[in-house]
Amino acid sequence: MSGSEIFLQQLIIGLSNGMIIALIALGYTMVYGIIELINFAHGDLFMLGSFAALTVVGLLGLDHLAAGAPGMWSGLFLMLLIVPLFCGSLNWLADRFAYRHLRDSTKLAPLVSAIGLSFVFMNIGLLWGGVPMNVFGLGRSAASPKDFPALVSNVNLLGQSAVEFTTKDLMVFVITLPLMVLLTWFVKGTRAGKAMRAVAQDRVAARLMGIPVDRVIGQTFLIGGALAGVASVVSSVYNNTIYFQMGYRAGVDAFTAAVFGGIGSLPGAVLGGLVIGLARAMCDQYLETRWTNVLVFTVLILVLVFRPQGLLGARAKEKV
C-alpha cells in the first residue's frame, strides 16, 4: 500500500472506532450536564452490554450461522433492541438506588459511589463470563477474553482497492450517525429535552416551575445507558472480542473524549470521540502502540491547560 492508502485506511479505522467512543461519551456528558456527576461506572455498563449481546447471540444460535446470513441481520436488530433496553434499565436502577439519595450530599459522595458501582459491574461481568454457554466457552475460564462471532461480513465495499471500507465500517456509520442526529433533535426539540436542559441549568428553579426533577434525571440515565448499550453492540460486532475488564479502557477513552470536547456538550462529546479514535489509529500506525495513551493524554492536558472548558464547552462561572 502507498503512503496515501495507508493514511486513508487508518482514517477509516479511526473514524469507525471514534464513532463508538462518541456514543459512550454522550452518556457521560448527558449525566454530567444535568447533575454534574462523573459516572465512572459507565464504562463497565458498556462492558455488561457487550456480555448481554453475546448472551443474545448464544440464545438465538447466531454463532452457528455464516457471517452475513439473512438471520444475522434480524439477530443484530434484536440485539439493538434488547441490549440498549437492558443497559438503560440498569443505569436507571443505578440512579434510583445508588445516586438519587446522595444528590444533596457533598460532590464526593456520589463520585465514590460511582467508583464502587464500577467494581460491582466489573465483578458481575467476571461472573457472567463463567456462564456455561458455548459462546462463553462453557464457562471454563471466566476471566479470559471471549470471541464475539462474526455476524457482519468483512467484504470490501470498494472492490479491488487496497483501501478497505468493509460492511462492518458501513454498519458503524449507519447505526451511529442517525442516532446522534436523533439525540440532538430530542434534546433540543422535544418537551422532555427542554425539561432536561432546564434541570441542567437550575434544578431548584426547575422544581419550582413544576418539572419533576427526579423523573427527568432518571430519563437522562435511561437514555445515557441505552446509548452505551448501542455502543456495546456495535463495538462487539466490529471488534469481535470482549472481556470483563474492557470497560476501563472504554470508559477512560469516553471520559477523555467528553472532557476534550467540553463535558456537558453533546457536539463536544462527538468531536472528542472522533479525535480520540483518529489519534489512536494514527499513533498505532505511525508511532508505536505503547505511545498511543501518551499521545492521547498529552493532547488532553494541552487542551485543558489552554482551554479548560474543552473545545466546544462554554466557560461557566463557579457559583459561590
Segments making up each domain of the chain, as ranges = 3-132+165-306
Residue 12 has pLDDT above 70, yes or no: yes
Sign of CA dihedral 91, 92, 97, 102: positive
Cell 498511543 locates to 292
The per-residue b/e assignment along 298-320, b for 16 or more CB within 10 angstroms, e otherwise, is eebeebeeeeebbbbbeeeeeee
Q: Which of 67, 313, 39, 89 is nearest to 218 (CA)?
A: 89
Q: How confident is the model at residue 316 (pLDDT cuts 50, 70, 90)?
A: low
Claim: this prediction has a pTM higher than 0.85: yes
- pLDDT-derived band at 201 (thresholds 50, 70, 90) equals confident
Other beta carbons within 10 angstroms of residue 149's beta carbon come to 19
Q: Residue 320's pLDDT band (boundaries 50, 70, 90)?
A: very low
Per-residue pLDDT band for 218 (boundaries 50, 70, 90) equals very high
To the nearest whole number, what is the mean pLDDT of the chain? 88
- Residue 305 confidence (pLDDT): 86
CA–CA separation, 263 and 293 (whole Å)? 20
**Helix 266-286 to helix 292-306 angle, to the nearest 10 degrees?**
140
Cβ–Cβ under 8 Å, residues 311 and 271? yes
pLDDT at residue 317 is higher than 60: no
pLDDT at 152 over 80: yes
pLDDT category at 241 given cuts 50, 70, 90 is very high
Q: Is the pLDDT of residue 314 over 80?
A: no
Cell of 88: 438503560
Q: Which of 71-80, 213-222, 295-304 has the lowest mean pLDDT?
A: 295-304
> Is the model more confident about 15 or about 296?
15
Would you state the pLDDT for residue 221?
94
Judged by average pLDDT, the poorest of 85-99, 233-247, 283-297 is: 283-297
| Separation CA 41–CA 85 (nearest Å) | 17
pLDDT at site 242: 94
CATH architecture entry for 3-132+165-306: Orthogonal Bundle (1.10)
Q: What is the mean pLDDT of residues 150-168?
A: 86
Question: What are the Cα distances from residue 148, in Å, to 111, 121, 262?
Answer: 33, 20, 33
| pLDDT mean over 9-38 | 90
Residue range 203-228: mean pLDDT, rounded? 92
- Residue 310 is predicted with a pLDDT of 81
Question: What pLDDT, in 10s, does the model give residues 53-68?
Answer: 999 999 988 887 766 6
Q: Which of 103-107, 118-122, 167-171 has the highest mean pLDDT?
A: 118-122
pLDDT at 68: 64
pLDDT at 213 over 60: yes
The continuous run of DSSP H or E covering 146 comes out as strand 146-147
